[in-house]
Amino acid sequence: MRDGYCKQPIPRAPGCRCGGVKVRLVMSRGGGASCLFVLSFGETRNKKDMESKWLILGWMCCGLISAAYGQASTPIREMNVKQGETAEFSCEYSANFQTPRVEWKFADVNQDAKIIFYEDTVTDSYKDRVVVFPRGLRLSGVSGTSDNGVYTCEVTAKDSSGQPLYLEAKTKLTVLVPPSTPVAQVPTSPTNGGVAILYCIEKSSSPPATFTWFKNQIQMPPNPKDSPTFQNSSYTIDPNSGVLKFEPVTKVDSGEYYCEAKNSQGAQTSAAVRMETHEVNVGGIVAAVIVSLLILALIAFGVWFAYSRGYFGKKTNKKVIYSQPSETRSDRNFQQTSSFLV
């Protein structure tokens, strides 16, 4: 037994037999299919010759089936539209698609999927901006923040003989948005010998902007060793993220910095921010340590003095015992005298 595979994708269709070759269509996860044919031979004198002939016939069958059922998908088209304008997507299919059922879907740059048009109805999130017409879709007021991504048209139908047909057409939309004014985040007083990281922030441009840094109004090259002005500096620049990193930062790196964000639609520059490096203040650190030790010594002396004066002694509760006064002799005599008189 020998298996052969027809790599050309074809739409959903049942299996069939072409001459003495059994041909079967194997569905793929993406909705397309592949052509599988199996060649079986019994005992024969010229088995190898028969095998090659039937193998060729099998490939011919695959080609005929693929041509009969149409192509499963078309190459992804690229479309660039300026922000706020209208994008128009086409979905072309042949006249063999009788009573076609059309669906439109959208997947953004994060692969989050949405349905635009389903069962002859535009979904609520698109009903104010989408118009669907035969073999196409029109999207108005495109936005770079929400409409960048891939738009897919899926068509299912049957031909005149009742065989199923399927077509998938994709278009990648890039909404063109010029950069907004970037923000340069610059440490104002880094310490010499340490690391200083500068950021250029701009997120609204489409396609995403690339970044350039300037020091004292002079453009900084990607490699500082390529320029006599910056050859004593040690830094790296990432043009895609806008990060400028000094490692280490030194006194020669002091100056005013600003960045530029640029794409095919324009360029914008940030405000300049001054960075002034400084040495480690050893004298200040020593003075701070001495002051801290003096404070601790004063606290310790105060505690010792309080204990020595008994301010922190233990308090005792003294009990007061009250006793009845004893009778005096004169009192006893008085009682006896009184009794005698009576």
Q: What is the DSSP string of 317-339?
A: -PPP---PPPPPHHHHHHHHHHH
Domain ranges for the chain:
2-69, 77-175, 183-275
278-314 burial by CB neighbour count: b if 16+ within 10 A, else e? eeeeeeeeeeeeeeeeeeeeeeeeeeeeeeeeeeeee
| Spatial separation of the C-alpha atoms in residues 237 and 52, rounded to whole Å | 60
Say if residue 105's pLDDT is above 70.
Answer: yes
Mean pLDDT taken over the chain: 78
77-175 under CATH 2.40.110.10, yes or no: no
Specify the higher pLDDT residue, 11 or 314: 314
Could you tell me the pTM of the whole model? Answer: 0.60
Predicted pLDDT of residue 327: 53
First to last CA, the chain: 152
Higher pLDDT, 327 or 99: 99
Look-up of token digits 């003095």? 305
pLDDT(39) > 50? no
List Cα–Cα distances, 74 to 9, 30, 166, in angstroms.
11, 13, 11
d(CA 155, CA 100): 6
Q: Report how far apart, in Å, the C-alpha atoms of 169 and of each of 73, 116, 151 are.
A: 6, 15, 8
Residue found under tokens 């990648």: 172
In this structure, are residues 176 and 264 in contact, taking their beta carbons and an 8 Å threshold? yes
Lowest mean pLDDT across 20-24, 140-144, 261-265, 291-295? 20-24
pLDDT (tens digit per residue) in 203-224: 999 999 999 999 999 999 999 9
CA dist., res. 208 & res. 261, Å (int): 9
pLDDT (tens digit per residue) in 138-172:
999 999 989 999 999 999 999 989 999 999 999 99
Between these two residues, 138 and 316, which has the higher pLDDT value?
Answer: 138
Task: Give the pLDDT confidence of 69-80 residue by residue, as tens digits.
Answer: 444 456 789 999
Same fold, 77-175 and 183-275: yes
Decide if 33 contacts 13 (C-beta within 8 A): yes
Confidence at 313, pLDDT banded by 50, 70, 90: low
Q: Domain 183-275 classified CATH 2.60.40.10?
A: yes
